[in-house]
């Protein structure tokens, strides 16, 4: 089976294929993972002409910028915010390339919320934002009262991320606390930890995978925040395997669970 993953900037992003392949392997699935990067082939001078303004919908992207330092991916990388409407065509082109390369499903490696009909794809298309929204909605509707909801995301799309949750049909049952970050999520997590929450959502894909990320990040966040932490790469990775014909040996897991 072959999973195609789409990243929002430049490549290589070796951590993404390795993560999805490694997770599948622990479940007994031999998964081939291929990737496409929507801005590959575009240089920084061209990309910089399409940076999003404060009031525009923006997409976070890691791109190569000569002389850049301090990024979690290493020197020569920068995390920038491009106009989402400009990026949509590049997403579609990346999806098309992955399908042409034989992908049995395509996963978008970002937490950006897209319109339901934003893309065409003849194989299952996994959009983490849709999965995350559904998970939170289920939690809200089952809760006895308002859900104490922590949210954290990159500062460059903070406004649109908070607005997204305020626009949900169940928003009146969310008590939203928000903290932004750029690169290092720990200060934002410390800010959120000052109040109790029922659930914290990290609205950013792949934190904890890069070599410069803190080790065991998800476990550290859960211990600090004292509640479940919903991270899009974990939710989406398992969902992708669920919609692909991977031939899980379910009996194997039953026997393993019995010891």
What are 4-32's pLDDT values in tens digits? 999 999 999 999 999 999 999 999 999 99
What are 58-98's pLDDT values in tens digits? 999 999 999 999 899 999 999 999 999 999 999 999 999 99
Residue 47's pLDDT band, with cuts at 50, 70 and 90, is: very high
pLDDT value of position 2:
97
pLDDT value of position 64:
97
pLDDT value of position 22:
96
pTM (2 d.p.): 0.94
| Structure tokens that stand for 63 in this block | 């791109």
Listed residue (79, 114, 89) closest to 206, CA to CA = 79
Q: For residues 48 and 22, state if they share a domain.
A: yes
Number of domains in the chain: 2
Percent of the chain with pLDDT over 70: 100
Q: For residues 146 and 208, state if they share a domain.
A: yes
Q: For residues 52 and 80, state if they share a domain.
A: yes
Q: For residues 120 and 10, state if they share a domain.
A: yes
What are 172-190's pLDDT values in tens digits? 999 999 999 998 999 999 9
Q: For residues 93 and 35, state if they share a domain.
A: yes
Q: For residues 173 and 254, state if they share a domain.
A: no
* CATH code of 150's domain: 3.40.50
Q: For residues 193 and 113, state if they share a domain.
A: no
Domain containing 28: what range?
2-127+236-258
Q: For residues 63 and 98, state if they share a domain.
A: yes
Q: For residues 64 and 155, state if they share a domain.
A: no
What are 203-230's pLDDT values in tens digits? 999 999 998 899 999 999 999 999 999 9
What whole-number distance in Å separates Cα of residue 207 and Cα of residue 128?
Answer: 14
| Structure tokens that stand for 25 in this block | 């392997």
Residue 158's pLDDT band, with cuts at 50, 70 and 90, is: very high
What are 106-152's pLDDT values in tens digits? 999 999 999 999 999 999 999 999 999 999 999 999 999 999 999 99
Q: For residues 202 and 138, state if they share a domain.
A: yes
Q: For residues 120 and 243, state if they share a domain.
A: yes
pLDDT value of position 114:
96
| Structure tokens that stand for 205 in this block | 């894909």
Q: For residues 74 and 181, state if they share a domain.
A: no
């Amino acid at each position: 089976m072959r999973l195609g993953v789409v990243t929002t900037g430049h490549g290589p992003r070796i951590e993404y294929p390795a993560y999805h392949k490694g997770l599948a392997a622990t479940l007994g699935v031999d998964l081939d993972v291929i990737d496409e990067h929507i801005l590959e082939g575009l240089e920084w001078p061209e990309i910089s002409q399409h940076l999003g303004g404060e009031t525009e919908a923006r997409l976070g992207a890691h791109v190569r910028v000569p002389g850049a330092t301090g990024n979690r991916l290493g020197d020569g990388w920068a995390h920038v915010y491009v106009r989402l409407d400009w990026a949509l065509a590049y997403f579609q082109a990346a999806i098309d390339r992955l399908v042409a390369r034989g992908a049995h499903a395509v996963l978008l490696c970002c937490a950006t919320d897209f319109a339901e009909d934003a893309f065409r794809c003849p194989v299952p298309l996994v959009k983490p934002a849709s999965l995350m929204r559904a998970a939170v909605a289920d939690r809200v509707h089952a809760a006895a009262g308002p859900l104490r909801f922590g949210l954290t995301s990159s500062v460059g799309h903070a406004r649109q991320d908070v607005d997204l949750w305020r626009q949900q049909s169940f928003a009146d049952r969310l008590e939203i606390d928000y903290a932004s970050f750029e690169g290092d999520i720990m200060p934002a997590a410390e800010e959120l930890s000052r109040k109790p929450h029922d659930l914290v959502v990290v609205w950013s894909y792949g934190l904890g995978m890069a070599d410069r990320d803190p080790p065991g990040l998800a476990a550290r966040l859960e211990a600090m925040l004292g509640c479940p932490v919903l991270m899009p790469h974990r939710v989406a990775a398992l969902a992708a395997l669920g919609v692909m014909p991977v031939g899980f040996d379910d009996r194997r897991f039953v026997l393993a669970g019995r010891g």
